Structure 1
Amino acid sequence: MIFQRCVTAGPSLLLGCLFSPLLLADNRALELKPQTVSAPSVESTTVADMAQYGSKVEIVTREQIERAGPSADITRAMQMFIPGFYVAPKNGPFDYGTYSLLGGRNDDTLILLDGVRLNNRLYGGLYLDTLPANAVERIEVLKGGQSLLFGTQAVAGVINIVTRSPQTRDVSGETNLGVDTFGGTTGDARAERIFSNGLGDLGLLAYVSHNVSEGYQPFRNRDMSNVTDKKRSYEVTTLGAKAIQSLGDDSRLELFYQYTDANLDFAGATNNRKTTNDRVQQIATATFEQRLNERLSYFVKGHINDWDTRYSRVNNTADGGTLVRNHDDYWGFTDWGVQAEGKAELEGGHVLVFGSDNQWFKGQDDVMVIDNNKAEAHALYTQLRPQIDALPDWHPSIGVRHEAMSGGDSATVGMLTSLYDLNANWALRGQYGTAYKLPNAEQLFVNEPGDEIGNRNLKPEKSRNAELGLDYKGLLADRDFSASVTLFKRKITHLITVDDAQWVNGQGQIQMRGFEVDAKLALNEQWNLQADMTRNLTESRAGVTINDVPSFFARSRVGFESQNRLWGAGAAIRYIHDVISSKKVEYGHYSVVDADAYRYLDNAHQHRVSLLVENLFDRDYVTSRSSNVDNLGRPFTSEVRYTYRF
């Protein structure tokens, strides 16, 4: 039934279904760039390992991220390059967004920064609007239910944003300067070097970025009433540093720190004079990794994520005056935790992974009344990856995780994955298991009579997840070709939802199913084509629903690289079918075309000029709805950037 419309439409439409989706990405195989620091990283192999045991993995490279444009935050990069990942930034760069992976909701995907969760457990959502793309080395995407290794909210998948690391023994780096047609400017710089000392290698890296823009008008004139500040501006400054010290050949210590100061407008369609979110975010991690011998390795990671926001809101009144509704009202949170994980290679080639994940949370909110703003969660997990000599082409894994959270019930989940190499070109993969989402502090303890009331008796949301995929990598008409099909199905019980003003567990069951198809074809040495599409089908019972998930979306890209790789260009289109908001209003139904080009000014590839044109045909389209008003996507925007590498 899922493929019926495409298959019965005939060969031409079937090809269109496969290649009309748009993604700006290079035609590259799965590859994780190794560190130059001599001691190998134990932790960074987690995603690549899961690809070998049946989980679908995507890697967005640094080269692809650079195509996202001078003013790109990380949301823009993910929108352009992750197959099957729906992203709709609310009001342009450095703003909240709507996300969906394999039919999941906004917080069904767990976002990590170097393995540290960014989904805050006190307030739920995904906070990506202060992450600069220039600080990111690659983006690793694990699809499907992944609660076994990653815990709550990894219902539809995990996206791990990996920051840049030092990789050269000479002083090196780059600077970028960019400008766009909305008056936006961007500048960033990075420097790095690896030294040798008495302990081993020491790699140092530092970066800085500054993005500022007056923004665009995110609402139609007819939807705005008594509004002074019509554009949604932003100014974001980020400083970061990383140090990696190898301790001999088998141990390493990694320290990371990032500081972000963001001044962000909040757009409003009614009576808005000025609404701002001014925030400071600090993220710090410390990781020690060691290979005890050829068969046993482990890592221990500690982290802290501190977020402090001052919220101000001034409205216009009907008589021409102003009304201050909020003035530097504080809301923020602090997450900190410790994770330890070991990997043992047993006799017979079996691998055992085991770990403990412990996290603590606290917050404060002067805007929303929450009676209890502290929480903690503790988990134990293990996974066995057996080697079956009688079936050398079969690579299975099985595991279990138990997690308990203060203020709510505990959750236990299991997961089975499998990869079978049918031959040199074809592979069959699948995974089946349970995932969970613990209630957050708002859902448990919010106390806003007439608006929201928490429920201390909420149970964790549970889901049963199944994914089945077929992958091909080889030749098509003597050209490099790869393609994959993934079928997925998810049944959710104890759905956490609002009944009038009370947070409750829904009594019914909701089912999400669908498929994802992606393909890449090298037309010749210069031209390449790639595409993806996703179909989501939702079935609900007893009135529980899932909102803001597109029923169908597709993307395609054609790219060209000159033989000497001195210049290149590409064009892409993304199509979004219908999306239903929480107010049962349908939006979506749009296609947006982007284009990009670059030119190196020298054979040494030190000087480069890049161009990105977003929304080439200036399409008026809706990315989300708030208070029954359409939030418009970014209009035609041209961005140019100069890069110098040393």
Structure 2
Amino acid sequence: MIRRSFTPLIGYLFSPLLLADDNALILNPQIVSAPSVESTTVAAMAQYGSKVEVVSREQIERAGPAADVSRVMQMFIPGLYVAPKNGPFDYGTYSLLGGRNDDTLILLDGVRLNNRLYGGLYLDTLPANAIERIEVLKGGQSLLFGTQAVSGVINIVTRSAQTRTASGEVNLGVDTFGGTTGDARVEKIFNNGWGDLGLLAYVSRNASEGYQPFRNRDMKNVTDKRRSYEVTTFGTKAIQSIGDDSRLELFYQYADANLDFARPVASHKTTNDRVQQIATATFEQNINERLSYFVKGHINDWDTRYTRINNLDGGGTKVINHNDYWGFTDWGVQAEGKAELPGGHVLIVGSDNQWFKGQDDVLVIDDNKAQAHALYTQLRPQIDALPDWHPSIGVRHEAMSGGDSATVGMLTSLYDLNDNWAVRGQYGTAYKLPNAEQLFVNEDDEKGNRNLKPEKSRNAELGIDYKGLLAGRDFNASVTLFKRKITDLITLDGVQWVNGQGQIQMRGFEADAKLALNNQWSVQADMTRNLTESRAGVTINDIPSFFARSRIGFESENRLWGAGAAIRYIRDVISSKQVEYGHYSVVDADAYRYLDTAHQHRVSLLVENLFDRDYVTSRSNNVDNLGRPFTSEVRYTYRF
């Protein structure tokens, strides 16, 4: 029997993993002969009690021609709150299981994207066309992933070659804000003296004048009123099998982005001109049927030139910043081994080593280097007397330069009650290391603290899953209760970064369900309730107390066309200035039509904010940042 929770793991062993709107699982065997043995922790943890969600390639394509990662996640990940600041390719606010913006760890093919210079999430240069799927592992996961995996892990999996004949696709799109997008992909699997060689390359360009993110009454002496963007990306991946048991994977992506930084007062022009390069190399080997390992090296290099020109009240302009540099380089090496012991037990042992270097000419940071080194192990026992129980236990120790070390442990459990019902749970500790800004910043209004301790939390999640029939139709449902207690909270006390006194407790629940009304119609919904209890005057902000989404989808019998509509509701959100915002509902709609039975030609349509609702995604300096107004986007796709 294959349980529902096996779905993401199979995606690692079979490629591609396809989850259509009717939740049917289609497995196409991986063509590159040597199977991947790289860390399957995101997917494998679904077998041991962690909640895992997967966004498929089909869903990504429905996110629109100018889609970035934030929009895809906003549309399709149950229980994830996403509030893009000023539309596509911008910073955003994220919350998973009541977590803060940097409590979720973002990975690209297993490589950490969260930067140690500031600790935030920087997804504003990642195009959706390069992504095969997105895997979401919920709950505290510091055991296997380290710092910032407090409320969950999101692993963005890039596309790989899957055909032995040259194939690919070309996409062209436009939107009603003057936005244009174009992307192309080509791939082929060859055979050489070592084995199969899969090659893939992609390129994309997204550009838009953008929309006005502030109300007219809030804009004073502003010239550049729209937040525009230009993002050009090139990437390539090569997978070389070496015999039947080993393989080498190389990946490289280059992104060049010119991004407006919208400001409501005195802004003549403010831009981030950015280049990001990500490269990885992974060697994997099955030594025998019971022992496998991988070694992975990566580098993430980010270089930004920041320009800010202000309008003067009496006329004219003043240059505040001119191509001032801020950026970072993260690089690391990870090694992990997996042993299947006698009796069916599985032992995971790994080492994770990271080095960080950063510079900021705008925000002065005294010390621009840091490093962190971790050892971790996890045992997944097989208990013959309880064949339906799947537990795990593990521990991790991480030491860093410029701060204290952290040790965490984790227990997980999945119990199959029968073919339809399963109970899962996990309990453990997680941590978040102070970032370079918090340790070393040296500004008049912000001072770092070299004696900061890691922020620690105790996390518990308990859930129940059902997969079966409702009124004779396919039905899936899940409920998760979560609770988190945070101590040593890293926070600003006036101008000084400190570890706060007391503790903060976050608790709540998440529920989601999906029902196939018939072979053509389906409906799905999810909701999350967050409750925060703070002590010693410390608060957590910009997390909605409640949010929910619902989507209805239709597919024609011949699958030549389909349509869908979704509504998301956000209740109250409290800003860092203790101002309430939120309270909005937004409706989106999408449709597609194949022009031929071979599925080579396709036209897609996405309508965002169908009823042109005026809503606030965030607040800064007591000014509302507005969500994207009514926007219509159309895309043509040619596949060969």
**Structure 2 counterpart SS, 1:487:** strand
Give the Å deviation of 1:321: 1.2
2:138 aligned residue (137, 143, 166):
143
2:370 aligned residue (375, 392, 395):
375
Letter in structure 2 aligned against 1:454: G
1-structure distance, mates of 2:218, 2:41: 48
Q: Within the alignment, does 1:478 sit opposite 2:472 as a pair?
A: yes
Give the aligned partner of residue 61 of structure 2: 66
Give the aligned partner of residue 12 of structure 1: none
Q: Deviations over 1:600-629 (max 9, x none)?
A: 000000000000000000000000001110
Give the aligned partner of residue 101 of structure 2: 106
Higher RCO (CA < 8 A, seq sep 6+): 1
2-structure distance, mates of 1:357, 1:147: 12
Q: Within the alignment, does 1:39 sit opposite 2:34 as a pair?
A: yes
Alignment of 1:287-326 (within 5 A): 287-326=282-321
Kindly indicate whether the alpha-carbon contact (under 8 Å) linking 1:398 and 1:417 is maintained by their aligned counterparts in 2: yes
Q: Deviations over 1:245-269 (max 9, x none)?
A: 0000100000000000000001010
2-structure distance, mates of 1:470, 1:370: 46
1:236 aligned residue (220, 231, 243):
231
Kindly indicate whether the alpha-carbon contact (under 8 Å) linking 1:379 and 1:401 is maintained by their aligned counterparts in 2: yes
Give the aligned partner of residue 498 of structure 2: 504
Give the Å deviation of 1:216: 0.2
Give the aligned partner of residue 611 of structure 2: 617
Give the Å deviation of 1:36: 1.8
Kindly indicate whether the alpha-carbon contact (under 8 Å) linking 1:31 and 1:59 is maintained by their aligned counterparts in 2: no
Q: Within the alignment, does 1:205 sit opposite 2:200 as a pair?
A: yes
2:50 aligned residue (51, 55, 62):
55
**Structure 2 counterpart SS, 1:78:** helix
Give the aligned partner of residue 18 of structure 1: none
Kindly indicate whether the alpha-carbon contact (under 8 Å) linking 2:41 and 2:144 is maintained by their aligned counterparts in 1: no
1-structure distance, mates of 2:51, 2:168: 33
Letter in structure 2 aligned against 1:643: T
Give the aligned partner of residue 9 of structure 2: none
2-structure distance, mates of 1:463, 1:410: 14
Alignment of 1:343-492 (within 5 A): 343-449=338-444, 451-492=445-486
2-structure distance, mates of 1:488, 1:44: 26
2-structure distance, mates of 1:40, 1:324: 55
Give the aligned partner of residue 21 of structure 1: none
2-structure distance, mates of 1:524, 1:198: 50
Letter in structure 2 aligned against 1:623: T
Structure 1 residues 33 and 519, CA gap change in structure 2 (3 angstroms): farther
**Structure 1 counterpart SS, 2:343:** helix
Structure 1 residues 431 and 190, CA gap change in structure 2 (3 angstroms): same
**Structure 2 counterpart SS, 1:72:** coil
1:570 aligned residue (558, 564, 573):
564
1-structure distance, mates of 2:28, 2:513: 23
Q: Deviations over 1:345-378 (max 9, x none)?
A: 0000000000000000001111011110100000
**Structure 2 counterpart SS, 1:52:** helix
1-structure distance, mates of 2:196, 2:161: 11
2-structure distance, mates of 1:27, 1:515: 25
1-structure distance, mates of 2:639, 2:190: 20
2-structure distance, mates of 1:224, 1:85: 31
Give the Å deviation of 1:585: 0.6
Kindly indicate whether the alpha-carbon contact (under 8 Å) linking 2:39 and 2:336 is maintained by their aligned counterparts in 1: no
**Structure 2 counterpart SS, 1:347:** coil
Letter in structure 1 aligned against 2:548: A
2:82 aligned residue (83, 87, 107):
87
Give the Å deviation of 1:305: 0.2
2-structure distance, mates of 1:28, 1:406: 46
Kindly indicate whether the alpha-carbon contact (under 8 Å) linking 1:71 and 1:186 is maintained by their aligned counterparts in 2: yes
Kindly indicate whether the alpha-carbon contact (under 8 Å) linking 2:39 and 2:294 is maintained by their aligned counterparts in 1: no
2-structure distance, mates of 1:501, 1:366: 19
Q: Deviations over 1:386-438 (max 9, x none)?
A: 00000000000000000001000000000000000000000000000000000
Alignment of 1:263-342 (within 5 A): 263-342=258-337
Q: Normalised by the size of structure 1, how large is the TM-score? A: 0.96
Letter in structure 1 aligned against 2:278: I
1-structure distance, mates of 2:117, 2:486: 22
Kindly indicate whether the alpha-carbon contact (under 8 Å) linking 1:191 and 1:205 is maintained by their aligned counterparts in 2: yes
Give the Å deviation of 1:123: 1.4
2-structure distance, mates of 1:155, 1:35: 33
2-structure distance, mates of 1:120, 1:78: 20
Give the Å deviation of 1:30: 6.9
Kindly indicate whether the alpha-carbon contact (under 8 Å) linking 1:59 and 1:141 is maintained by their aligned counterparts in 2: yes
Structure 1 residues 34 and 579, CA gap change in structure 2 (3 angstroms): farther
What are the ranges of 5 or more consecutive residues in structure 2 without an aligned counterpart?
1-18
Q: Deviations over 1:219-257 (max 9, x none)?
A: 000010000000000000000000000000100000000
Q: Deviations over 1:429-453 (max 9, x none)?
A: 000000000000100000002x100
Letter in structure 1 aligned against 2:86: N
Letter in structure 1 aligned against 2:69: I
**Structure 1 counterpart SS, 2:412:** strand
What are the ranges of 5 or more consecutive residues in structure 1 without an aligned counterpart?
1-23
**Structure 1 counterpart SS, 2:426:** strand
**Structure 1 counterpart SS, 2:59:** helix
Structure 1 residues 32 and 367, CA gap change in structure 2 (3 angstroms): farther
Kindly indicate whether the alpha-carbon contact (under 8 Å) linking 1:30 and 1:58 is maintained by their aligned counterparts in 2: no
Give the aligned partner of residue 544 of structure 1: 538
Q: How many residues align?
A: 622
Q: Normalised by the size of structure 2, how large is the TM-score? A: 0.96
2-structure distance, mates of 1:267, 1:33: 45
2:639 aligned residue (597, 620, 645):
645
2:596 aligned residue (578, 602, 609):
602
Give the Å deviation of 1:25: 7.7
Give the aligned partner of residue 15 of structure 1: none
Kindly indicate whether the alpha-carbon contact (under 8 Å) linking 1:35 and 1:165 is maintained by their aligned counterparts in 2: no
1-structure distance, mates of 2:29, 2:400: 36
2-structure distance, mates of 1:616, 1:490: 37
Letter in structure 1 aligned against 2:223: T
